């Protein structure tokens, strides 16, 4: 009993501290916020420094880890958060859109000789179309049924790629071209637009630019009527529909936007990787990104970014422990779910849902008793 009280006390103190920081941020003038944003971008650009890498990743190349898995997981988690965190739709096949983007870069680049930037635009369009194609017949389903269908879609894409010799079959596609280089521009002593095989830092800087654009767009959508419609659908889809919200259209939009973000990351990753094959797009990647979204705080963009960073970084940080590194990684995840079931940086709405017993994710969450409902249940007995 004492142990349970101590855990609850820790949660309460941590929650109070988070609420105080959030209130202070909401009351911060706009110009001060922009200073913080610029500082964060500069800090992200400075991350590949060797002095930082010596601690963060002593066993592997830190710049390479920043691009994949850390940066890649962050962008994918932002895209999945639109679907899961904001619209409340459980998608277990998100890796399919990542695969469509990767294969778009591979096939259009090697066979048609298209430019990276043109392929990026086309890949985003193809993935948006894929999201609509998946969503049109399936988004009338909810909860577990929708999750099963999206899981099947992800596996269909992977198995189709493996069994289709016209796109490389199980061997995949090799010789994928890099983005066009501009070798005379330097930043921090690095030729940031010289894309080759040996130096991963130019790709990381390009990923930072992509992440910044995606974050700005997602935040704009979140604060618009689109974001309010997504929140209404997540809380109670039936009530939202009764109030006049075109739920099917907005769910389709969420799928298309999330798919586009995943596809954009797939294009960039394939341009860096040079070769891809169907085994790069296993279901485990979808599950890992979903874990990052939930662990960070579904619906809250800073929390999702933090969750993706932790999920990607921890196994690499303890790589020197070999077999034990995954044990440590799992133990950290379990501890976080015990002490912070609503996520590292949850949105206020999700925290309220968890206390009400809706699983912390609107209609997506299972009806499980939250802290307050547990106390009431015990008192009634």
Sequence ranges of the domains in the chain:
75-280
User: Is pLDDT above 90 for 271?
Assistant: yes
Poorest-confidence range of 155-164, 207-216, 313-322?
A: 313-322
User: Is pLDDT above 70 for 337?
Assistant: yes
Classify 273 in phi/psi space as left (phi over 0), alpha (psi -120 to 50) or beta.
alpha
Task: List, for residues 294-315, the tens digit of each pLDDT value.
Answer: 999 998 999 999 999 999 998 8
- Please give the torsion angle defined by the CA atoms of residues 161, 165, 170 and 176, in that order, rounded to the nearest 10 degrees: -80
Residue in 310, 305, 243, 337 with CA at minimum distance from that of residue 85: 305
Q: How confident is the model at residue 379 (pLDDT cuts 50, 70, 90)?
A: very low
Buried b (16+ CB within 10 A) or exposed e, 173-184: beebbbbeeeee
Q: How confident is the model at residue 10 (pLDDT cuts 50, 70, 90)?
A: low
Q: How confident is the model at residue 117 (pLDDT cuts 50, 70, 90)?
A: very high
For the chain, what percent of residues have pLDDT higher than 90? 60
Q: Are 332 and 314 in contact (CB under 8 A)?
A: yes
Q: How confident is the model at residue 171 (pLDDT cuts 50, 70, 90)?
A: very high
Q: How confident is the model at residue 364 (pLDDT cuts 50, 70, 90)?
A: low
pLDDT for 322 equals 74
Q: What is the mean pLDDT of residues 351-378?
A: 52
pLDDT for 4 equals 58
Measured CA to CA, the distance from residue 240 to residue 229 in angstroms comes to: 8
User: Is pLDDT above 70 for 89?
Assistant: yes
pLDDT for 19 equals 65
Classify 178 in phi/psi space as left (phi over 0), alpha (psi -120 to 50) or beta.
beta
pLDDT for 366 equals 45
Measured CA to CA, the distance from residue 25 to residue 30 in angstroms comes to: 10
Helix (H) or strand (E) holding 133: helix 116-138
pLDDT for 378 equals 42
Angle of helix 247-273 relative to helix 201-222, nearest 10 degrees? 170
Measured CA to CA, the distance from residue 68 to residue 278 in angstroms comes to: 17
pLDDT for 358 equals 53
Q: What is the mean pLDDT of residues 185-199?
A: 82
Mean pLDDT (the chain) is: 86
User: Is pLDDT above 50 for 360?
Assistant: no
pLDDT for 6 equals 63
Measured CA to CA, the distance from residue 274 to residue 72 in angstroms comes to: 16
Q: What is the widest separation between alpha-carbon atoms in the chain?
A: 74
Q: What is the mean pLDDT of residues 118-146?
A: 92
């Amino acid at each position: 009993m004492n142990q349970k009280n101590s855990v609850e006390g820790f949660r309460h103190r941590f929650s109070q501290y988070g609420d105080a920081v959030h209130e202070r941020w909401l009351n911060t003038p706009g110009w001060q916020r922009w200073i913080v944003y610029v500082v964060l971008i500069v800090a992200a650009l400075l991350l590949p420094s060797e002095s930082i890498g010596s601690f963060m990743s002593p066993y592997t190349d830190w710049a390479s880890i920043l691009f994949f898995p850390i940066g890649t997981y962050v962008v994918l988690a932002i895209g999945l958060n639109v679907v899961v965190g904001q619209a409340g739709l459980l998608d277990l096949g998100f890796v399919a859109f990542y695969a469509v983007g990767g294969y778009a870069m591979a096939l259009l680049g090697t066979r048609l000789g298209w430019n990276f930037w043109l392929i990026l635009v086309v890949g985003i369009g193809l993935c948006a179309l894929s999201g609509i194609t998946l969503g049109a017949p399936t988004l009338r389903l909810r909860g577990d049924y929708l999750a099963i269908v999206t899981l099947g879609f992800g596996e269909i894409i992977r198995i189709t790629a493996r069994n289709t010799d016209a796109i490389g079959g199980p061997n995949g596609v090799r010789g994928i071209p890099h983005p066009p280089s501009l070798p005379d521009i330097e930043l921090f002593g690095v030729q940031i637009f010289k894309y080759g095989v040996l130096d991963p830092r130019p790709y990381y800087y390009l990923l930072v630019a992509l992440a910044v654009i995606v974050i700005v767009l997602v935040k704009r959508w979140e604060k618009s009527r689109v974001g309010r419609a997504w929140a209404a659908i997540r809380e109670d889809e039936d009530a939202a529909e009764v109030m006049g919200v075109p739920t099917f259209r907005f769910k389709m939009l969420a799928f298309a936007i999330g798919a586009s973000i995943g596809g954009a990351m797939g294009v960039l990753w394939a341009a860096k990787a040079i070769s891809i094959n169907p085994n790069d797009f296993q279901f485990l990647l979808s599950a890992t990104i979903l874990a990052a979204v939930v662990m960070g705080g579904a619906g809250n963009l800073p929390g999702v970014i933090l969750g993706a960073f932790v999920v990607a970084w921890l196994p690499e940080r303890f790589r020197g422990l070999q077999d034990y590194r995954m044990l440590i990684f799992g133990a950290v995840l379990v501890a976080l779910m015990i002490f912070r079931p609503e996520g590292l940086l949850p949105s206020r709405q999700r925290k309220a849902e968890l206390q009400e017993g809706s699983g912390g994710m609107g209609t997506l969450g299972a009806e499980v008793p939250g802290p307050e409902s547990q106390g009431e249940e015990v008192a009634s007995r």
